């Protein structure tokens, strides 16, 4: 008797970001260094491009691939999947809760992220900052300081 297949695979949440990135292998290393991401899967094409990777930041999974990989080419041709660099910006931001926003912000900037918003306490109870990573993705980094 086979085991029941779950609609949402183990380890995933209902929504999982899939980032299309110029130089995805370098992005994985950036996320590991800055956000303490762990790498779960890395599928590399003969060209060296990442066709698929999965990283885990905290309890959340993120999938990603190179914007010029064979895997992404089909979606890019349909206009479904483009990197922020190919678009000249991004339409999506990621909001990341961490234990120490100040430390993660400093690490991100030291690793090449551009400051979008300095760290400060926000009226909704978060201490938050905004950065654009070297690949064009925007991250709001926050630590909850009080419930409002």
- What would the pLDDT profile of 101-143 be if each residue is shown by its tens digit? 999 999 999 999 999 999 999 999 999 999 999 999 999 999 9
Query: What is the per-residue pLDDT for 65?
Result: 92
Query: What is the per-residue pLDDT for 147?
Result: 93
Please list, in sequence order, all residues whose beta carbon lies within 8 angstroms of the beta carbon of residue 17, skipping any fewer than 6 positions away: 62, 63, 92, 94
Measured CA to CA, the distance from residue 139 to residue 148 in angstroms comes to 23
**What tens digit of pLDDT does each residue of 74-106 get?**
777 777 778 898 888 998 999 999 999 999 999
Residue 1 pLDDT class (50, 70, 90 cuts): low
Q: Which tokens go with 7?
A: 């609609």
On the CB side of 104, CA atoms within 13 Å amount to 25
> Under CATH, which number does the domain 18-144 receive?
3.10.180.10
Q: Model-level pTM greater than 0.85? A: yes
- Summary mean pLDDT of the chain: 92
Burial of 71 (0-12, 13-18, 19+ CB in 10 A): middle
Q: Which tokens go with 88?
A: 């000249």
């Amino acid at each position: 008797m086979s085991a029941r297949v779950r609609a949402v695979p183990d380890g995933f949440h209902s929504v999982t970001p899939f980032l299309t990135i110029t130089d995805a292998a370098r992005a994985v290393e950036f996320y590991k260094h800055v956000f303490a991401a762990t790498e779960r899967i890395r599928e590399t094409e003969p060209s060296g491009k990442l066709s698929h990777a999965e990283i885990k930041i905290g309890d959340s999974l993120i999938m990603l691939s190179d914007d010029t990989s064979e895997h992404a080419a089909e979606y890019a041709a349909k206009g479904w999947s483009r990197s922020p660099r190919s678009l000249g910006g991004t339409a999506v931001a990621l909001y990341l809760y961490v234990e120490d926003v100040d430390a993660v912000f400093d690490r991100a900037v030291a690793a090449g992220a551009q400051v979008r918003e300095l760290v400060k306490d926000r009226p909704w109870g978060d201490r938050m900052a905004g950065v654009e990573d070297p690949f064009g993705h925007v991250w709001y980094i926050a630590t909850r300081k009080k419930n409002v």
